[in-house]
């Protein structure tokens, strides 16, 4: 892995857009695919290692949860005003798995193969009707590697976003974050239509940008850290879920 | 939503958020302290069962560990919460020490004095879970589970349903289920209680069941509505849960019940569920669907609408009385085990 390979796709640590110029509008994450293979990304490798180190303090995450928290980190990068195309890899909604990033999946496999991550499969399902996914913990070797990588310029600018996403889990539970984030406008649309789609494109991102503009207005542009915005956004999506649930219960009636 | 509605929604959430309050008062240092405190609480509660903490747990952390010191008498120092494992503890106070480790007391009434700002987590089982900021308590738990910092998580739906039934035998925590009762003694339901039961079950599973999405299902096309749909994220597979209730319901203060359901209602629910499964299979035979019945049972023997108290003999008469389900339905390959959540009344 070379530092230069993704330099052109990542803003430096001091390149966050001026708060007054934050417009939540860009050419969409599809621009990433122009110069970077979709199933391998050094940024994704760092993200997976960082997230597993952070999340496993609470519980060892599954690959599904890693995709979700990586997507949340990407959303926080967008909230900070960086274009989605700078994230370094893409996300898709491929129901029932959403969000999904081939780069995250590939990075996880490589990290397991390299001995940086340990995958543990919990005891099998009792009735063979459900799927039990592997949980992932970081090894000593992975921890040492992470310490080296997080000092690299190409990765250090990602830490604030990844940190906010993983630390937000302490206020809730992994399943709650996965369920709440499924009400993010693009994921919600994908789930309702049951169709695959690329996320964070120039076409699909408008509702997200509207939500982030409102969140920014409430918090104020001087708000520096990202844990509170991440938590409030998840709470907002939870509220959306609650409202959809109430509407559905009204439609269902009381005596089905 | 319009822009102004979005702003209003976020503003309301921000005002209700203890995370935002901590940031407002203490800035980034406060958020760091809060994340550390709750991580410590989560760790602690993996070793000390929250169900035993009937007197209370208090965990105190300084906002600025390099400046704030705390004064107290006695107590013992531990390096990690795992050292508390195995004890039957109903009261506990823990102070997070500046240099690492913890000072602990087997009491919830310890006098701790600090010379700087602190954050305090407080939990009393089935009574309160809150964060105290500058003397003001902020509610933490908005879930149907007893303790938000110790929500059990499951990879199997059956395990989650078993735990849900066990937690709600004495239904005190869940605010959704609390709205189902017609009276303070939990003798009968209000009218149309089913929506609160569905909401409780959906929210409980959202917080506890891993690697799935959980949504209410609304009938589309030929598919009749079921109450809860669970979709596994890693594979094309679903489960549906049909919710039914047993017991009596009616308006508050009325001299008669408007609806009364016996075990016949549960049996009808299982038949209805089997019908849903047949329809789902006909509509989409490529997605395996398992069916589950969840029965909320508040049957009380010989209950009248004007009754205000019940003794244990009548109140718990049906506690161990499962409906007699048809064997052919239970033996279906796509039929999961039916669950019954018997919700105990407050008996005299």
Q: Give me the residue from B17, B225, B232 closest to A130, CB to CB.
A: B232
Q: What is the 3-state secondary structure (H, E, C) of A51-115?
A: HHHHHCCCCCCCHHHHHHHHHHHHHHHHHCCCCHHHCCCCCEEECCEEEECHHHHHHHHHHHHCC
Contacts of A127 in chain B (CB under 8 A): 158, 336
197-216 in chain B: CB under 8 A from chain A: 198-199, 202, 206-216
Contacts of A98 in chain B (CB under 8 A): 233
Cα–Cα dist A176/B153, whole Å:
10
pLDDT at res. A192: 78
What rounded mean pLDDT belongs to chain A? Answer: 83
Contacts of A255 in chain B (CB under 8 A): 192, 194
Per-10-residue mean pLDDT, chain B, length 348: 91 96 96 97 95 96 92 93 91 92 95 95 95 96 94 92 93 90 96 92 94 73 68 86 96 94 96 91 83 97 95 96 96 96 95
Lowest model confidence (mean pLDDT) among A30-39, A107-116, B104-113, B271-280: A30-39
Residue of A nearest to B276 (CA): A256
Mean pLDDT of A160-185: 95
Q: Report how far apart, in Å, the C-alpha atoms of B157 and of each of A176, B95, B171, B297 are.
A: 15, 37, 20, 20
A243 CB within 8 Å of a chain B CB: no
Q: Where are the alpha helices (DSSP H) in chain A?
A: 42-55, 63-79, 102-113, 140-149, 153-156, 159-168, 174-181, 185-193, 206-219, 227-252
Where is pLDDT greater, at B346 or A36? Answer: B346
Task: Report ipTM for this prediction.
Answer: 0.90
Residues forming a β-bridge with B230: B214, B239
Where is pLDDT greater, at A183 or B219? Answer: A183
What token pair was written down for B101?
A: 């480790």
pTM of the model: 0.89
pLDDT at res. B93: 97
A210 CB within 8 Å of a chain B CB: yes
**Interchain contact, B225 vs A251, CB within 8 Å:** yes
Q: Using alpha carbons, select from A99, A224, A82, A103 the residue that is nearest to residue A158.
A: A82
User: Considering Cα of A148, then A154, then A160, then A164, what sign does the dihedral take?
Assistant: negative
**Interchain contact, B17 vs A245, CB within 8 Å:** no
| Whether the Cβ atoms of residue B215 and residue A194 lie closer than 8 Å to each other | no
Would strands B56-62 and B91-96 be described as parallel, antiparallel, or unpaired?
parallel
Residue A36 has phi, psi (to 5 degrees) of -135, 130
């Amino acid at each position: 892995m070379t530092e230069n390979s993704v330099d052109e796709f990542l803003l430096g640590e001091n390149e966050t857009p001026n708060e007054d110029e934050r417009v939540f509008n860009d050419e969409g994450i599809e621009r990433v695919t122009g110069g970077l293979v979709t199933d391998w990304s050094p940024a994704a490798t760092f993200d997976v290692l960082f997230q597993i180190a952070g999340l496993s303090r609470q519980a060892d995450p599954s690959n599904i949860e890693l995709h979700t928290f990586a997507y949340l980190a990407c959303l926080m990068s967008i909230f900070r005003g960086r274009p989605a195309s700078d994230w370094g890899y893409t996300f898709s909604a491929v129901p029932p798995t959403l969000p999904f990033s081939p780069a995250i999946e590939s990075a996880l496999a490589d990290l397991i193969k390299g001995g940086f991550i340990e995958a543990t499969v919990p005891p099998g399902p009792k009735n063979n009707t459900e799927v039990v996914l592997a949980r992932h913990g970081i090894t000593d070797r992975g921890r040492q590697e992470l310490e080296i990588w997080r000092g690299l310029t190409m990765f250090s600018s990602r830490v604030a976003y990844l940190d906010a996403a993983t630390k937000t889990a302490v206020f809730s539970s992994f399943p709650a974050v996965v369920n709440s984030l499924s009400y993010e406008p693009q994921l919600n649309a994908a789930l309702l239509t049951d169709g695959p789609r690329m996320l964070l494109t120039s076409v699909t991102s408008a509702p997200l940008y509207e939500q982030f503009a409102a969140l920014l207005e409430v918090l104020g542009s001087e708000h520096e850290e990202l844990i509170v915005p991440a938590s409030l956004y998840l709470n907002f999506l939870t509220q959306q879920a609650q409202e959809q649930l109430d509407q559905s219960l009204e439609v269902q009636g009381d005596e089905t | 939503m319009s822009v102004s509605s979005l702003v209003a929604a976020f503003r309301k959430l921000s005002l209700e958020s203890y995370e935002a309050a901590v940031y407002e008062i203490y800035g980034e240092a406060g958020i760091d302290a809060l994340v550390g405190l709750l991580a410590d609480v989560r760790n602690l509660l993996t070793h000390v069962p929250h169900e035993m903490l009937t007197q209370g747990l208090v965990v105190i952390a300084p906002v600025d560990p390099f400046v704030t010191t705390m004064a107290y008498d006695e107590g013992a120092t531990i390096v990690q919460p795992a050292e508390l494992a195995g004890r039957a503890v109903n009261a506990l106070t823990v102070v997070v020490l500046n240099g690492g480790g913890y000072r602990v007391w087997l009491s919830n009434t310890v006098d701790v004095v600090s010379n700087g700002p602190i954050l305090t987590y407080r939990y009393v089982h089935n009574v309160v879970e809150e964060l105290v900021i500058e003397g003001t308590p902020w509610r933490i738990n908005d879930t149907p589970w007893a303790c938000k910092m110790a929500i059990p998580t499951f990879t199997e739906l059956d395990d989650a349903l078993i735990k849900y039934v066990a937690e709600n035998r004495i239904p005190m925590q869940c605010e959704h289920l609390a709205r189902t009762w017609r009276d303070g003694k939990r003798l009968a339901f209000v009218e149309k209680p089913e929506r609160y039961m569905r909401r409780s079950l959906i929210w409980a599973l959202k917080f506890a069941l891993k690697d799935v999405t959980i949504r209410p299902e609304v009938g589309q096309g030929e598919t009749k509505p079921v109450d809860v749909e669970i979709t596994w994220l890693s594979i094309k597979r679903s489960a549906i849960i049909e919710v039914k209730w047993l017991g009596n319901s009616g308006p508050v203060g009325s001299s008669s019940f408007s609806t009364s359901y016996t075990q016949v209602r549960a049996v009808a629910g299982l038949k209805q569920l089997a019908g849903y499964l047949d329809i789902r299979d006909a509509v989409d035979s490529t997605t395996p669907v398992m069916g589950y019945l969840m029965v909320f049972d508040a049957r009380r023997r010989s209950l009248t609408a004007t009754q205000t108290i019940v003794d244990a003999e009548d109140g718990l008469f049906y506690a161990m009385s499962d409906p007699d389900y048809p064997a052919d339905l239970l033996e279906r390959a796509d039929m999961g085990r039916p669950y019954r959540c018997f919700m105990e009344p407050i008996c005299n």
